[in-house]
Each structure stands twice: as C-alpha cells, then as structure tokens.
Amino acid sequence: MTTGRLTSSWPLAVGIDIGGTTSRAALVDQQGNILDLARRPTPAGFDELTGWIRAMYVALSAGRLAPVPLGLALPGVVDRAKGMLVRSVNLAWLERQPLVATLERDAGIRPHLTSDAEAATWAEYVQCDDSFDSFVHLRLGTGVACGVVIHGTLLPTDPARRDHWPVLIVDQSANAPQCPCGLRGCLELYASGKSLTAKARALGFQELADLQSALEAGDPRADAVIEDAARAVNTAIGNLAARFAVETVVMGGGVLTALPSLFNLVRDAYERENPEGSVAVQASRLGDDAGIIGAASLALLHNQPK
C-alpha cells in the first residue's frame, strides 16, 4: 500500500501511462509538474510497446547525472511481484507478458508498475488542497476504473482479480448485459469510451465529440445516450459512497473531455438527489495528465533513499 505524500529527495521521474487507445510519457518533477511530454497511439504489439517505452525513457532521462526512476501505469490489473499485467479488458495481448524483465534487460531500469487507475487516483489525491479520510477517483476512459485512498493510503488492487470491482456493477437485474470482464451490468457497458463510441456510431455519429454536438443541438437520441450513462455513473457513485464512506469523488478521463455534459449531468443529479451534500462530486484537476503524473510520483516514492 502507498501511504503519505511525496517526500523523496529524488528530483525527477519518468512517468508512462499506457492507455487502451493512447499512450503518454513525461518527465515529471517532485511537485507533479510536467517538464517534457510525448504521446502516441498505443502500440499494437509487445515488442513495439517495449521498444517505445525504452526509447521514451532514454530520451526523457538523457543528461541526468543519476538514474531517473520510471513509473509505468497499465490499463488493468497489475501483479508487481511478477512484473506484468495480468488482466486487461482493452489490451488482452499484453496480459502475462514479461514487461518488467524485458525493460530491465533492454533499458537497464526496473520500472515501478501500477494500474492506470491507481496512478491517476494518487495524482488527483496529492493535488487536492485538503486531506480526506476517504477519497475516490472514478475514471472514464477507453475502459472504466476507479481508485480509492483511505486515511492517506492508496488501496492496492488484488492481482488475483480478473474482473471489474463489484462496486462498479450498476445493473443488478436478471437480464443485465454481460461485460467482457465476465460480470454482468458493469459501468463499463454504459459509460466507457468504447461503449459510448459504439452507441454514437449506431446513431450515425463518428466520435464522442459528435455526440456532444448533437446533444447541444437538442438531438433527443444523443440526450438519451448521455442520460443513460449519467444514471449508471450516479449508481456507481452511490455504491462507492456506501462501501467506502466516501467524502469526495473526483471524475476524470477522456470520456469527460469529449462529453463535458456527462459530468454536469452526473454532478447536478447527484447533488439534487443528495441535498445534504455528504459526497462532493468534482471534476479532475489533472485531466489526461493524471496517469503520467501519478506513475512518476509513485516511482519517486518507491525509490526513496532508505
């Protein structure tokens, strides 16, 4: 488990966030400032991916007098002891590949592995002005994930888990649709970028941004899709609040960048249905940068001098 805020004497780290669609790499300082950034579509094979990670690490850490820690965020369930991704709905080809061993051999650096949700959650938590007893980051990207910080401790993902968190099941009915993770009624089916893009294209749109434009133009079909997603997200937030006594839920991810109306609907509906304000629903402060900042920050913590 990761506890405490950044106190490392290491000045810099490289953070790399491998997404289901887009991957990003950055040199990050102790305060979470990005000093250099590169991005590209996620490579489609293991050799191409490890080659890109190695090239980014070498380029971003060049000229440093001491080795620069590397934090690597992956989209799914990570087994740090084995140095690999063990479950990923969107990058199944990367499962069980010897990622850490390959990078250690080829780049001479042992990366600190984390899930993309854990990395983004830690970054958002550290950037908050206040400390919370219970903090959740819900991330809607190509897939859906969340991370939890309790009393300053980032809860780790169980590497034996092969499906989504049960707390993210938003449809308990007998005819709930089956998720690729194996469960039924997961939030992934209603509010992920993959799911919403498929629904948008079924209506004749190409991208999520087109769905947002249609919504602003008053298209009732777009309105129905967004409202369905908002209801599902609100159910997930209610589940998280009940399970972890959450004070703050920060929402982020590429879906909300493309569909800002979705966040507004979620926040407004949750505040309307919970007038006492027991849970604050907030937008991400870091946006798409959360994963790389968190990956770098966790690498710095992991590599603190003893």
Domain-embedded: residue 8: yes
Is 60 found in the same domain as 86? yes
Is 143 found in the same domain as 66? no
Q: What are the counts of helices (DSSP H) followed by strands (DSSP E) for the chain?
A: 10, 13
Is 141 found in the same domain as 93? no
Is 140 found in the same domain as 238? yes
Q: Phi and psi for 26 in degrees, rounded to 5?
A: -155, 150
Is 108 found in the same domain as 155? no
pLDDT of residue 142: 85
- Name, in order, each residue with C-beta under 8 angstroms of 218's C-beta and a sequence gap of 6 or more: none
User: How far apart are the C-alpha atoms of 144 and 76, rounded to whole Å?
Assistant: 10
Cβ atoms of residues 193 and 254 within 8 Å: yes
Domain-embedded: residue 125: no
pLDDT of residue 76: 86
CATH of the domain at 104: 3.30.420.40
Degrees (nearest 5) of the Cα angle 184, 169, 292? 110
Domain-embedded: residue 15: yes
Residues of the domain holding 22? 2-119+288-302
Write out residues in the chain with pLDDT < 50, as ranges: 1-9, 306
Domain-embedded: residue 83: yes
Is 293 found in the same domain as 280? no
Number of Cα atoms under 13 Å in the Cβ half of residue 93 = 9
pLDDT of residue 83: 93
Cβ atoms of residues 89 and 180 within 8 Å: yes
- Name, in order, each residue with C-beta under 8 angstroms of 263's C-beta and a sequence gap of 6 or more: 251, 256, 283
User: How far apart are the C-alpha atoms of 121 and 127, rounded to whole Å?
Assistant: 10
pLDDT of residue 303: 75
Q: Is residue 16 classed as helix, strand or coil in its secondary structure?
A: strand
pLDDT of residue 186: 93
Is 147 found in the same domain as 245? yes
Is 137 found in the same domain as 237? yes
Degrees (nearest 5) of the Cα angle 67, 71, 75? 160
Is 226 found in the same domain as 209? yes
Domain-embedded: residue 206: yes
Q: What is the pTM of this model?
A: 0.85
pLDDT tens column, 33-45: 999 999 999 999 9
Query: Is the backbone of residue 204 left (phi > 0), alpha (psi -120 to 50) or beta?
Result: left
Is 96 found in the same domain as 43? yes
Domain-embedded: residue 142: yes
**How many domains does the chain divide into?**
2
Domain-embedded: residue 124: no
pLDDT tens column, 155-190: 887 777 777 778 899 999 989 999 888 889 999 999
pLDDT of residue 1: 42
pLDDT of residue 297: 94
Domain-embedded: residue 231: yes
Is 265 found in the same domain as 138? yes
Is 219 found in the same domain as 171? yes
